[in-house]
């Protein structure tokens, strides 16, 4: 019995489909999420999904919506910088729970409601912190993917062989062909990482980049306040 129709008592619903897709991605990886496989997991024929979700792309966007909803809200009692920092790091935790999410978010081209709401709230924090709309626009773009808690890590790791002697040979090749890469590879901030542990987008490095951006935003905010103090900062 390859499927159990007894579980199909409850009618198919958009939410049930998205939850099944997220569950499947969590357990089997995003490549295991196809219209056919999700339908099978629900005990239903592939075309049944199309009554609730218009396309594979819509399914992926809906999956993002589901997990973006997991991001905890902004703390309204904090100044903009710690509030945003905290929320971005919270978003990062959600992304770490769903390792497929980064790849899917990178491929999205249209925003869904939960995504728009998250963005809207971040902008609200900037505006509430004294940013002009123009500056808020700029900093949101500068923040980019870091608003979701990840940095595009285009620093690809060559597959590191398990065999130590092969690994040493590879490192020797790297050191002669790309000496600077070899230099910083061994000088990573995290000594536990193997010598070719590039491609590491770990917590320290994420926060390093995030804080440079947030500090830069603060500096631009101050500069703007100085050159056009139409509204005094004290109230």
Partner DNA sequence: ACCTGAACACCGTTCAAGT
Residues 146 and 144: their CA atoms lie apart, in Å, by: 5
38 CA to centre of own chain: 23
Residue 83 backbone phi and psi in degrees, to 5: -60, -45
Residues 93 and 123: their CA atoms lie apart, in Å, by: 21
**CA atoms within 13 A of residue 76's CA, in its CB half-sphere:** 2
Give CA angle at 35 (30, 38), nearest 5°.
70
Interface residue with DNA among 7, 28, 29, 56 (CB under 7 A) is 56
Rounded least distance, CB 91 to DNA, Å: 27
Examine residue 88 and tell whether it contacts DNA (CB under 7 A). Answer: no
Q: For residues 75-104, which are near a second copy according to CB under 8 A? A: 103
If the CB atoms of residues 32 and 195 are measured against DNA, the closer one turns out to be: 32
Examine residue 110 and tell whether it contacts a second copy (CB under 8 A). Answer: yes
Residues 133 and 136: their CA atoms lie apart, in Å, by: 5
SS3 (DSSP) at 111? coil
Examine residue 167 and tell whether it contacts a second copy (CB under 8 A). Answer: no
Rounded least distance, CB 235 to a second copy, Å: 21
Determine the interface stretch with DNA among 44-52, 188-196, 197-205, 225-233 (rule: CB under 7 A). 44-52
Determine the interface stretch with DNA among 7-15, 105-113, 123-131, 156-164 (rule: CB under 7 A). 7-15
Examine residue 46 and tell whether it contacts DNA (CB under 7 A). Answer: yes
Q: For residues 186-215, which are near a second copy according to CB under 8 A? A: 186-189, 200-201, 205, 208-209, 212-213, 215
- In total, the chain counts a number of residues equal to 235
Interface residue with a second copy among 27, 120, 230, 231 (CB under 8 A) is 120
- Residue 155: name its binding partner from DNA, a second copy, none (Cβ under 5 to 8 Å by kind): a second copy
Interface residue with DNA among 12, 90, 104, 135 (CB under 7 A) is 12
Contact in structure between 46 and 120 (CB atoms under 8 Å): no
- Residue 140: name its binding partner from a second copy, DNA, none (Cβ under 5 to 8 Å by kind): a second copy
Angle, to 10 degrees, between the axis of helix 203-227 and the axis of helix 80-97? 150
Nearest residue to 60 via CA among 97, 27, 17: 17
Rounded least distance, CB 233 to a second copy, Å: 20
């Amino acid at each position: 019995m390859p499927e159990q129709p007894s579980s199909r008592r409850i009618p198919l619903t958009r939410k049930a489909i998205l939850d099944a897709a997220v569950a499947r991605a969590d357990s089997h990886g995003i490549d295991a999420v196809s219209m056919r496989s999700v339908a099978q997991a629900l005990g239903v024929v592939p075309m049944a999904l199309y009554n609730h979700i218009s396309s594979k792309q819509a399914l992926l966007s809906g999956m993002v919506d589901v997990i973006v909803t997991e991001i905890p809200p902004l703390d309204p009692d904090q100044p903009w910088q710690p509030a945003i920092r905290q929320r971005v790091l919270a978003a990062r935790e959600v992304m770490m729970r769903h390792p497929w999410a980064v790849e899917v978010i990178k491929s999205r081209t249209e925003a869904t409601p939960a995504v728009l709401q998250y963005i809207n709230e971040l902008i609200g924090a900037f505006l509430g912190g004294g940013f002009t709309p123009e500056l808020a626009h700029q900093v949101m773009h500068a923040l980019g993917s870091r608003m979701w808690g990840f940095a595009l890590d285009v620093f690809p790791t060559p597959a590191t062989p398990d065999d130590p002697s092969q690994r040493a040979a590879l490192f020797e090749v790297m050191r002669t062909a790309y000496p600077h890469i070899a230099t910083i590879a061994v000088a990573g901030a995290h000594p536990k990482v193997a010598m070719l542990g590039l491609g590491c987008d770990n917590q320290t490095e994420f926060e390093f980049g995030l804080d440079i951006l947030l500090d830069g935003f603060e500096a631009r905010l101050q500069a703007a306040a100085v050159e056009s103090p139409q509204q005094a900062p004290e109230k």
